[in-house]
Structure 1
């Protein structure tokens, strides 16, 4: 495949190396200094940019008939507009708050545990996420996806907050520590015990590999998909 990288920070560079190792070619690299570019000779685009540019990047791809995979978080107020545009243009789009295979399995485990814990009023659920100090959004997109998975399956929780939770809120503690790729932990605490599940990324390779796998899967398709489609998670 001929890949455009929209965003060429640490994730972009990690994706580049994995893509090359898998026999693909990087034909376009876009960062904050890039002014004018075209999508000629591009088979698929991978967007790991910043929240303020992600929407424009994604819509540019769809309008140019380029399948696009986005792992940028913090822009989802425009997600429905992207879906509508993709359907209108018969484009191809995947958004993932996290492309790691392990994290996507963790999403399923989190939702299943919430179903098991639903109705057990002696337990209260909360979450902690830890990322590197250069991460711009808090809580992380992954933490929000985990919270949504709990809310859908745990009747007593209706929303998430970063501080001062009400009874119906999931409290998310967001920490920023140098060189932490990403750790997410769910706590179910009662007076007698605590049940904990956690995912800890050791490096960025898992995120990068998942983004490349999603790109390989998306080429030749039309529609809006998620990593559940890529991984065939029912």
Structure 2
């Protein structure tokens, strides 16, 4: 594949290394205005830019019929608008809060555990996420996905960062140097605690998942998720 990297920070550089190891070519490493680039020879764009740039990056690619893989978080209030534009331009799109295979398995565990815990209200659920100090948004997109999955099987009314309302899922976000990403879902009762945890050891899992998604998206049209890719 010929790939345009939208955003060229640490994640972009990791994607570059792993994509080249898999025989792909990085044609563009775009840090600024995407309008200055001709994308007609690009097979896929992989977006790990910043929240303020993501929507513009993604929809510009749709206009030029370039499939997009996006892992940028913090812009999702416009996700449905982007998905509608993808369909309008007959383009292809996968957004994921986390592309790691391990995290997507963790999502499935979280979904199943939340179904089991629905019958045991004495267990109080909470989410904690820890990331490196360069991460711009809090909580992480992965933590939000975990919370939304739990809400599907809960009487809770929503989630809140550092929340104390019993009707909401409390989410804690910590920023510590050199932590690629840790997520913990815990259920506390007066007599015991149940926890599931995912710890990333490097960015490679996130980057490889994005590349695998890009490979899968070739010759497809429409809006998909990592569940389509992996399961």
Off by >6 Å, runs of 4+ in structure 1: none
Which residue in the other structure is 2:223 paired with? 224
Asked if structure 1 preserves the Cα contact closer than 8 Å seen for 2:163 and 2:169, the reply is no
How far has the Cα of 1:163 moved from its partner?
2.2
Q: 1:190 to 1:2 in 2, by over 3 A?
A: same
**1:13-24 mapped onto 2 (5 Å cutoff):** 13-24=13-24
Q: 1:75 to 1:104 in 2, by over 3 A?
A: same
Asked if structure 1 preserves the Cα contact closer than 8 Å seen for 2:163 and 2:171, the reply is no
Which residue in the other structure is 1:199 paired with? 198
How far has the Cα of 1:204 moved from its partner?
0.1
1: CA distance between counterparts of 2:170 and 2:77? 21
Q: 1:55 to 1:34 in 2, by over 3 A?
A: closer
Which residue in the other structure is 1:51 paired with? 51
What is the number of residues matched between the two proteins?
231
Which residue in the other structure is 2:153 paired with? 153
TM-score normalised by length of structure 2? 0.98
2: CA distance between counterparts of 1:19 and 1:190? 45
Which residue in the other structure is 2:210 paired with? 211
Unaligned runs of 5+ residues in structure 2 are none
- SS of 1:166 mapped into structure 2: coil
How far has the Cα of 1:159 moved from its partner?
0.7
Choose 222-231 or 158-167, whichever is displaced more.
158-167
Which residue in the other structure is 1:73 paired with? 73
Asked if structure 1 preserves the Cα contact closer than 8 Å seen for 2:7 and 2:50, the reply is yes
CA RMSD of aligned residues (A): 1.1
1:163 equivalenced with 2:195 (yes/no): no
- SS of 1:122 mapped into structure 2: coil
TM-score normalised by length of structure 1? 0.96
Unaligned runs of 5+ residues in structure 1 are none
